[in-house]
Amino acid sequence: MTLQTIDNATCTFCGCVCDDIQLHHDQMRIHKAKSACVLGTAWFLNHTAERHYPDALIDGREATVDEAVEMAAALLHEADMPLVYGMSNTTCEAQKECVALADQLGGLLDSHTSL
């Protein structure tokens, strides 16, 4: 089977954020990450499009995304001082949503930087 390629893909594993990676992939996984370093290669090859995990868990039991979103909203809304934390391994677009969420909740907002 021939693989599809993506040129100049961006690796977000470390702060170098190299954007010259050539990815060779099929529907399920990336088979080769040309120009990537040992850390970047592992990062690209270890993630797949397989369904390894349940969509969502509530109290350890499998749940739908709809149920989990509703539960998350209820818990965060009920809290007096909710914390929004992390934001390292995610996109800027998601980070903006996180800042908006903390603003809406009147909560705390923090990233890895504070460690």
Partner 1 sequence: MLRITGGKIYDPASGINGEIRTLYIEDGRFVASGEGGRTIDAAGMIVFPGGVDVHTHVAGGAINFARAMTPEDHRRTQAFIRSQTRRSGLGGMAPTTFATGYLYAGMGFTTVNEAAVPVLSARHTHEELSDIPIVDKSSLVLMANNELLLDQLDAGEYERARSILAWYIRAAGSWGIKAVNPGGVAAWKWGGNAGQLTETVDGFRHVTPGTIVASLARMCHDLNLPHPLHLHCNNLGAPGNVSTTLETLRHLEGHRAHIAHSQYHAYGGDDWDTMRSATSDLADWFNTHDNLTTDAGAVLFGDTVTITADGPWQHLLYRLTGRKWGNLDVENETGCGIVPYTYRPGHLVNAVQWAAGLELLLLIEDPWKVFLSTDHPNGGCFWRYPEILELLMCADYRQECLRQLPDRIRSRILLPEIDREYSLYDVATAMSAGPAQALGLPRKGSLAVGCDADVVIYEEDDNIRRMFSHPRYVIKSGEIVIEDGDIRETPDGREFLVQPHCDPDTETFIRPLFEDCYTMSFDNYPVEPHRIPRAEIHHRPASP
Partner 2 sequence: MGGKVTCTLGEVKNRADFIVYWGGNPAECHPRHFTKYTLMQKSRWLPRGRKDRTMVLVDIRETKSAKAADIFLQVRPGCDFELLSILRAMVRDEPVDPDAVAETGIAYDVLEDLVRRMKSCRFGCMFFGMGLSMTRGKHMNSAALLTLAAELNAFTKFVAMPMRGHGNVTGADVIMRWQTGYPFGITFNRGYPRYNPGEFSTVDVLVRGDCDAAFIIGADPGATMPQPAIDHLARIPTIVLDPHVTHTSRLARVHITTAPAGIAAPGTAYRMDEIPLPLKPALKSPYPTDEEIVRRIREAVATRPFWMPEDSPQMTTEQL
Show the tokens assigned to 80: 């007096």
Which of partner 2, partner 1, none binds 1 (CB below 5-8 Å, type-dependent)?
Answer: none
Is residue 53 within the footprint of partner 2 (CB under 8 A)?
yes
Which of partner 1, partner 2, none binds 64 (CB below 5-8 Å, type-dependent)?
Answer: none
Least distance (Å) from partner 2 to the CB of residue 66?
9
- Distance (Å, whole) CA 93 – CA 90: 8
Strand order in the sheet with 4-9: 4-9, 21-25, 30-34
Element (H, E) at 61: strand 61-63
- Using CB under 8 A as the criterion, which residues of the chain lie in contact with partner 1 when the complex forms? 7-8, 10, 19-20, 92, 100, 103-104, 106
